[in-house]
Structure 1
Amino acid sequence: MRKLMVPVIVVFIAALLMSMFVVKEGERAIVFRFSSALKDANSDVVKVYEPGLHFKLPLFDTARLFEARIQTMDDQADRFVTSEKKDVIIDTYVKWRIKDFDKYYKSTSNDVSTAEGLMKRKVVDSLRAEIGLREIKQIVSGPERKKKEGEATDTAVTDTAAVTDTTTDAATTLPAETVEMLAEAEKPLNAVVEGQRDQIMANVLADIKVGSMEDLGVEIVDFRIKKINLPDEISESIYQRMRAERESVARKHRSQGREQAEVLRAKADLAVTQILSNANRDALVVRGEADAEAAEIYSAAFGKNPEFYNFLRSLKAYENSFKSKNDILVIDPNTEFFKYMKDAQGTAN
């Protein structure tokens, strides 16, 4: 009898161990009996086992564990075509978790790669439809930032004041067309592209959430666009075209600037010439009036004593004639030039 107790105990312990299974935190389990999932007796719904220690019939029941936590599907980027018939490469990721474990098992046999492959197909189809309705500038741009009340008005007032000040200062020295060009350049850019990237993500999330729950039994928690790139084969050509456009605009502004500079320079030269001409004219008039007045004074002064005037003029002539020691004059000493040198009265012959 004792010899039979040992095998019985061993069989009992083995049967007990085979009848127990543990569900870890973050997991759920379904028990299958002859390939059919066990259902709850009260609700006739497949019974899902929560984390903890559970029991099953050994040899007849099989427990299958499922990941219940949120998982991330981060696959390779795909190529999409916009409404402009241009290619873009979009990289996305999806956050998902199992909601209906029975449906998930029937659809994927508890294979994560199979589930993600089916979800990937749904994501690509939905995203392709959304991208095909929009242009590149709408895809890459996010929503316009909503300014607080009063912020836009204050900014507009500041910008207007700046333009007004600039225009007022420039109006005193610059032509009207130059002032208009400067004011136009200082205006803020009001034409902002209405971005729809967030709207695209919301639409795709709503679409795949319904389809994934119905077909796979999974709940799509979130869908995001990580990165949007242009294909390598066309990126360089686009950059070249953008560079050419910017260079064309730069050349246009430079030529307009040179034109305005020439106009300003010509007007400045004309103004300088007019100012100098008026100044020279006024100087000549003042100098002529001064010379006339000086001549009148000299005439009135020397008219009172002509002989003294002749004497003073002769002394000035002597001073100018003998100023340099190297000067040599060959003159007859009896000429009238030396009459005051021989006689202070100027009467000697």
Structure 2
Amino acid sequence: MQSKSFPALILIAILALVGSNSLYIVNETERAIKLKFGEIIDSDIKPGLHFKLPVLHTIRKFDARILTMDSRPQRYLTLEKKAVIVDSFIKWRIADVQQYYEATSGDELVAARLLAPRMDEGLRNQFGERTMYEVISGERDELMDELTVRLNTITQDELGIEIRDIRVKRIDLPPEVSHAVFERMNTERQREAREHRSEGKEIAEGIRADADRQRQVVLAEAFRESERIRGEGDAIAAATYANAYTKNPEFYSFIRSLEAYRNSFSSKSDVMVLKPESEFFNYMKKSQ
């Protein structure tokens, strides 16, 4: 019994192996072709479960999603013969599977090597037709769109590849030019700084001069006002003294004499030489 079941198991295993090698699946994100001894017999296999003959048929699958190729920075000349270093990338996908396979053997590295010189030539031509200002800010979007359309026409005809987008990540000046530009910018900024400082000093001098003038005006007005008040006070004092003197001239004369005595005899070191009959001693003589 066991000798009869063993060949059956072998047969089942062989059938299972053949069946597994006869079925294959193509995902939604893939494109596939069927080869018969290296010759393409089905150039666009749709996603799903499919059948093939083992050994006789070979299935090649490729990524159908949008792929990115990051290019190395390249040196280009603008319309005015100014050198720039451009760092860019390209978005692409397979448009014609058979043509893509025939041009690249289905190898993404080969496709990148074929795309790189075409993109380099396109960028070189586009930059050579525009000025520095246009490629940096003025017409960059227009440049990229035009290059995408032109390159897409070429790659679809020659490689079966559709170019979806081309973009510039960065535009730099060459190192030897960057240093000169930096020095020129530094010199320009220093010149502007000196101009601003000189303008600031001029404004500061004007402010100081105006402040000094206002100070002098304020001091002069204050002095004039103080003299006016002092004059008014002296006039009031003089009027008060005169009024008091007219009311009692003798008393006023007596008070003035006492003040004179106090001021004259306040210091023991002072010496006065007067005649005894001088009016200065009238109230001393008439002490009663």
Fold shared per TM-score above 0.5: yes
Q: Deviations over 1:58-97 (max 9, x none)?
A: 44x4433333233221232222223343322222222222
Unmatched 5+ stretches in structure 1: 40-45, 142-194
Alpha-carbon contact 1:24-1:51 (below 8 Å) kept:
yes
Indicate the structure (1 or 2) with the bigger Cα radius of gyration: 2
Unmatched 5+ stretches in structure 2: none
What is the distance in 2 between the residues matched to 1:93 and 1:23?
32
Alpha-carbon contact 1:18-1:58 (below 8 Å) kept:
no
RCO higher in 1 or 2 (8 Å CA, sep ≥ 6)? 1
1:199 corresponding residue in structure 2: 142
2:242 corresponding residue in structure 1: 299
Tell me which of 63, 82, 105 is aligned to 1:67. Answer: 63
Shift of 1:57: 6.9
What is the distance in 1 between the residues matched to 2:48 and 2:178?
52
1:201-240 maps to which residues of 2 (within 5 A)? 201-240=144-183
Tell me which of 293, 312, 320 is aligned to 2:255. Answer: 312
Shift of 1:240: 2.3
Tell me which of 10, 21, 24 is aligned to 1:22. Answer: 24
Secondary structure, aligned partner of 1:221: strand
1:166 corresponding residue in structure 2: none
Structure 2 CA distance for partners of 1:51 and 1:136, relative to 1, 3 Å: farther
What is the distance in 2 between the residues matched to 1:78 and 1:91?
7
2:53 corresponding residue in structure 1: 56
Q: Deviations over 1:196-255 (max 9, x none)?
A: 333333222222222211211012233332233332332232222222212212221221
Tell me which of 74, 98, 102 is aligned to 2:98. Answer: 102
Tell me which of 110, 123, 128 is aligned to 2:124. Answer: 128
Higher fraction of strand? 2
1:128-147 maps to which residues of 2 (within 5 A)? 128-141=124-137
Alpha-carbon contact 2:136-2:171 (below 8 Å) kept:
yes
Is 131-140 or 221-230 further displaced after alignment? 131-140
1:87 corresponding residue in structure 2: 83
Q: Deviations over 1:108-150 (max 9, x none)?
A: 2223222112212222222223333444444444xxxxxxxxx
What is the distance in 2 between the residues matched to 1:299 and 1:197?
99
TM-score, scaled relative to structure 1: 0.67
Tell me which of 204, 212, 218 is aligned to 1:261. Answer: 204
What is the identity, as a one-letter code, of the residue corresponding to 2:258?
A: L
What is the identity, as a one-letter code, of the residue corresponding to 2:114?
A: L
What is the distance in 1 between the residues matched to 2:11 and 2:236?
149
Is 131-140 or 99-108 further displaced after alignment? 131-140
CA-atom RMSD, angstroms? Answer: 3.4
1:178 corresponding residue in structure 2: none
Alpha-carbon contact 1:78-1:89 (below 8 Å) kept:
yes
Shift of 1:316: 0.5
Q: Identity of aligned pairs, percent?
A: 39
What is the identity, as a one-letter code, of the residue corresponding to 1:87?
A: A
TM-score, scaled relative to structure 2: 0.79
Secondary structure, aligned partner of 1:38: strand
Alpha-carbon contact 1:23-1:29 (below 8 Å) kept:
no
Q: Deviations over 1:146-165 (max 9, x none)?
A: xxxxxxxxxxxxxxxxxxxx
What is the identity, as a one-letter code, of the residue corresponding to 2:127?
A: I
What is the identity, as a one-letter code, of the residue corresponding to 2:151?
A: I
The answer to whether residue 233 in structure 2 is matched with residue 283 in structure 1 is no
Alpha-carbon contact 1:21-1:63 (below 8 Å) kept:
no
Alpha-carbon contact 2:69-2:90 (below 8 Å) kept:
yes
What is the distance in 2 between the residues matched to 1:23 and 1:229?
47
